[in-house]
Amino acid sequence: MNRDDGLEGKVAVISGGGSGIGRALAVAYARAGAHSVVGYLPSDPHDASATVSAVEAAGGRCSAVPMDVRSFEDTERLAQTALDEFDRLDISVAAAGILRRAPLAEMTDQAWDDMMAVDLSGVLRVFRSCSTRMTGGGAMVATSSIAGGVYGWEEHSHYAAAKAGLLGLCRSLAVELAPRKIRVNTVIPGLIESPQSLDAVNSLGREGLDAAGSIIPWGRVGNVDEAARTIRFLTSDDSAYVTGQQLIVDGGLTVRWPS
């Protein structure tokens, strides 16, 4: 199949590729003729081998690397794997993240620092490691959230602060890396059904997601494939002149007049 989006033969590094949007993205790249290196946290209950199998079923190649975005040594190893196994690195997507509920009165310094170390500083580490290995231009995307990226969210101030911080990080990197022809953008998913959002303790859970569908103009919450295809677009030649931007994927939630 001939494609004109420029992804054929490209190699993408994806943190948080063991499940959710990261897994769906690796499959989306495979369908576009690109290969991937996915990083996963060994303690994550989701099996990264399922990502590899799904990619291979879609006709792509994928390597899964155990790592923790809190470690610069780990992000270096993740990025280097792309060169060692595929001899190139074209795309970097930071999809790893944690979500924890914590009211302000119960917010410990440790809880705040842990969130920032993964959801904000972890993105910086992934991008730093990957950018130094991109020799022919490239594209990078961070996954923010409407919580912080657009809205506030009670009992999740540390999560929202980290996700808001990604907007400034990516805007600044877009300017800094433009001379090297590396584009940097942010995707802001709305309410997306994923293992993270299905967690009823720290997020909405099944009942909360079902109820949220009634207030979304599109009539339902999104799915990980829809978010992944948006990221694929932002890293393809179809968005070759797009950098420093934030693309909201929310079924119209953020533009609906309150009723």
CA atoms of 100 and 124, how far apart (whole Å): 20
What counts of helices (H) and strands (E) characterise the chain? 9, 9
| Contact by Cβ (8 Å): 11, 79 | no
CA atoms of 28 and 60, how far apart (whole Å): 10
Phi, psi of 137 (to 5 degrees): 85, -175
Question: Is residue 72 exposed (0-12), middle (13-18) or buried (19+ Cβ within 10 Å)?
Answer: middle
CA atoms of 18 and 133, how far apart (whole Å): 23
Q: Does the annotation count 151 as an active-site position? A: no
* Catalytic residue chosen out of the listed positions 29, 40, 151, 159: 159
**CA-based R_g, the chain, Å:** 17
The sheet with strand 11-15 has its strands ordered as 62-66, 35-40, 11-15, 91-94, 138-143, 182-189, 246-249
Catalytic residue list: 159
